[in-house]
A and B are shown apart, each in its own frame.
Chain A
Amino acid sequence: MTAIAQKPLVAAPPRRGRAVRFLRWMRSDIRAVASISFLVLLLVVSVGAPWIAPYPPNAQNVADLLSPPSGAHWLGTDDLGRDVLSRLIYGAPNSLYASFLAVFVAVLLGLPIGLLIGFIGGWFDEIVSRFIDALLSFPPIVLAIAVTGALGIGLTNAMLAVGFVFAPFLARIVRAQTLVVKSALYVDASRGFGASTPHIIMRHILPNAIQPVIVQVTLMLAIALLAEAALSFLSLGVQPPAASWGGMLARAYNYIEIAPEQMYAPGMAILLTALAFNALGESMRVALDPTMKRR
């Protein structure tokens, strides 16, 4: 009891202390800082695309097709004479929207299902878990393509499909985590005090099961980004003339013999963004893991 009473004294450090701690954290995890900075930059570019991009995304200059990088067009122009840098910038919001939509759908489906089957258990868990096993046996992109084809081609449908395909991964992680927390002594105690099932799920199981989910969701953003790029490359995602990194790669590939340099910028954009999501996820895994002692 005394420990709890004393806690506020420790938890309210002076302002300077917080700044020092922040600096120390930045120095201790440069990877996290770098990836967060990159993602913030990407967000700024996405929101400010109309002001940042030197040209409108679909402005054609027919006299200047597939030109190499120059002062007027830093990354050159594509086969329709459109500025590659501007299309790269306008592709950023589409990629971010796609990643977050897919992961949002996955959480919306996977989290409650995982909680429910983990908490209820028994034959209900047995049946739904087999169904999850079945879903996990499908090659993810193939299933996403099939669902997109059925729902109708387009970025939003494609990402709903990817989210649907990701949901069972998340459900399985949440289920495992729920099983661990469910058998903890304090949950028994809470039930002994007469706590209702929703109360136990919301107050005890969810907060304690959420940490690996947060890590997984961050890592999933990278996979969703790659899936969007792949689907747009196959012209199932973002539809032309809207700009997307995957779609830019598909166009670039058609002219690979004339203008091979066209394919480097969109590919780098995809790689760096996926790396940033992954690095952030890995850093969060370390930071959130209670078994890893802070140095």
Chain B
Amino acid sequence: MNKLPRLIGRRLLQFLPIVVFATFVVFGLLQLVPGDPALSLAGDYASTARIAEIRHEYGFDQPLIVQYGIWLWHAAQGNLGLSLFSSEPVTQLIRDRLPNTILVAVYALIVASAIGIPLGVLAATRNGSRIDSFVTSIASMGVALPSFWLAMILALQFSLYRHWFPTTGSAYFFTDPVGALSHATLPAIALAVGVVATLARQVRSDLLEVLNQQYMRTLRAKGLSSGAILWKHGLRNVSATLLTLVGLQVNRLFSGAVVIEAVFAIPGVGSLVSYSAINKDFPVVQGVVLVLVLIVISVNLLTDIITALLDPRVAAAS
């Protein structure tokens, strides 16, 4: 098992450049704003003195690479600046809202996996049947469905008409778990539909590929039951790619969460980022984007390591 630290170390090294480039991109966002970045950061009502202060604080009078260094140094210490509107620290704003977003995203991921993976398996084992074409058409539908429209329909049907779930808002999971889950249910369902479609499709095609391999015919010839073939050989072979696939859905979930949070008035980082972008509150925008991309990269790193541990071929290849 002393291979494990080496494996983790190697993956960390591979992911390091990605993290560095990602911070480049987040830093670069401010450079896209036309005009003086100090003016953008100071907001519309800042005094000349405040602008000069910001220019010095962020090093806008220095070369870009130095500015990047200053920004990164601040960010690494958890200092993402102040909101131009509320003057609250950006870190605090994100810390207050991130749990709401994470809850909906994780909830959606669980729902999507619980529905999407079995659907894909069902379609693959009954390839060409009516169930298969049903799953395939559901999947094409799910990819094309605007999730926020589905969210509106769900809100109308299940909270306004039937009052099964609260319409808007959120509750803190650790103090009021039932309330938090009931607030998050409709948003999670709306968010899950696209992911269900992707998972079902991918599981179907991956599993079909494995089941069509030559050795599957050998196993059948040896008299193994189709259930044993599916569980012991089919699913085991796709489990590694499946984990990677599920990990890759995280950034899609965050994407969807932005719009879904707007529909259900959830105070999460998604609604924070769109509100801040409209109001040109750039420190908040940069902060949210940075935090989300770091979460996505960490999840991908984690699934990568677990995949390597599960699959001896991947471990050997790296």
Contacts and interface: CB of A to CB of B under 8 A. Distances in A.
Interface string B8-31: 000000000111111011000110
A263 B289 contact: no
Max chain B C-beta neighbours (<10 A), residue from A139, A143, A249, A260? A139
Given A138-B289, A139-B296, A130 B278 contact: no
Interface residues of B, number: 53
Contact of B34 (A138, A152, A222, A282): A152
A137 B262 contact: no
Interface string B70-92: 00000000000000000000000
Given A142-B255, A142-B292, A260-B156, A229 B270 contact: no
B18 A137 contact: yes
Given A138-B296, A146-B29, A146-B286, A249 B152 contact: yes
Interface string B287-318: 01100110011001000000000000000000
A253 B278 contact: no
A274 B263 CA distance: 21
A153 interface: yes
A153 B140 contact: no
Contacts of A289: none
B305 to A, nearest CB: 16
A256 interface: yes
Contacts of B18: 130, 133-134, 137
Interface in A221-274: 222, 226, 229-230, 233-236, 246, 249, 252-253, 256-257, 260, 263, 266-267, 270-271, 274
Contacts of A140: 251-252, 255
A233 B282 contact: no
B110 interface: no
B279 to A, nearest CB: 9
Interface stretch (B55-63, B141-149, B175-183, B222-230): B141-149
A222 B145 CA distance: 10
B189 interface: no
B148 A145 contact: no
Contacts of B33: 150-151
Contacts of A136: 251
B160 A137 contact: no
A200 to B, nearest CB: 30
| Residue among A150, A266, A271 with max Cβ neighbours from chain B (10 Å) | A150
B276 interface: yes
Contact of B278 (A139, A149, A279): A149
A141 B148 CA distance: 13
B264 to A, nearest CB: 11
B149 A139 contact: no
A275 interface: yes
A145 B277 contact: yes
A282 B205 CA distance: 14
Interface string B84-106: 00000000000000000000000
B32 interface: yes
Contacts of B267: none
A146 B160 contact: no
Contact of A275 (B144, B152, B155): B144
Tell me the dominant secondary structure on chain A's binding face.
Answer: helix
B255 A147 contact: no
B277 A139 contact: no
Interface in A42-77: none
Q: Which of A131, A134, A136, A274 has the most CB of B within 10 A?
A: A134
A266 B24 CA distance: 38
A151 B296 contact: no
A288 B146 CA distance: 28
Contacts of B156: 256, 260, 263
Interface of B: 17-22, 24-25, 29-30, 32-34, 140-141, 143-146, 148-149, 152-153, 155-156, 160, 251-256, 258-259, 262-263, 270, 273-274, 276-278, 280, 282, 285-286, 288-289, 292-293, 296-297, 300
Given A140-B255, A142-B254, 6 more contacts: A137-B18, A145-B273, A147-B29, A230-B259, A252-B152, A263-B153
Interface of A: 127, 130-131, 133-143, 145-153, 222, 226, 229-230, 233-236, 246, 249, 252-253, 256-257, 260, 263, 266-267, 270-271, 274-275, 277-279, 282
Q: Which 9 A-B pairs have the closest CB atoms?
A: A149-B277, A134-B21, A274-B144, A267-B149, A139-B254, A141-B255, A150-B32, A139-B255, A134-B22
25 contacts: A130-B21, A134-B18, A134-B25, A138-B22, A138-B289, A138-B292, A139-B254, A139-B293, A139-B296, A140-B251, A141-B255, A142-B254, A142-B255, A153-B277, A153-B278, A233-B259, A253-B152, A260-B160, A263-B153, A267-B152, A267-B153, A270-B149, A274-B144, A278-B140, A278-B143
